[in-house]
Amino acid sequence: MGAVRYPARSFLLYDALACGTWGIYCGLLGYFGGLAFEHNPVTGLLAGVGISVAVTGLVEAARWARQRSRTRAATRRGG
């Protein structure tokens, strides 16, 4: 906000909206996740860790592929 001189009033409005949305999202996710795994919390824990690892792996694979294609393109151009 300070580096680009974004107006504080607008920033605070959008920040409050984002914080509220994030809070509701996390609260509902926890509530419904708790209901889904109420009788078997270990399965819920394993599902959460598994999804986290899978999403992280996909993001890192995409980042690696993008970097690799950029490196190949720069090598072909000679630079």
Q: For the chain, what percent of residues have pLDDT higher than 70?
A: 99
Question: Do residues 30 and 20 lie in contact, with contact meaning Cβ atoms separated by under 8 Å?
Answer: no
**Domain count of the chain?**
2
User: What residue type is 55 in one-letter code?
Assistant: V
Question: Do residues 33 and 44 lie in contact, with contact meaning Cβ atoms separated by under 8 Å?
Answer: yes
Question: Do residues 44 and 37 lie in contact, with contact meaning Cβ atoms separated by under 8 Å?
Answer: yes
Q: For position 79, what pLDDT does the model report? A: 59
Task: Inform me whether the pLDDT recorded for 9 exceeds 70.
Answer: yes
28 lies in the same domain as 51: no
**34 band by pLDDT with thresholds 50, 70 and 90:** confident
51 lies in the same domain as 68: yes
Domain span at 48: 40-79
46 lies in the same domain as 31: no
40-78, pLDDT tens digit by residue? Answer: 999 999 999 999 999 999 999 999 999 999 998 888 887
31 lies in the same domain as 45: no
Q: For position 76, what pLDDT does the model report? A: 86
24 lies in the same domain as 57: no
User: Cα separation of 37 and 65, whole Å?
Assistant: 36
The CA-CA-CA angle for residues 56, 59, 65, to 5°, reads 135
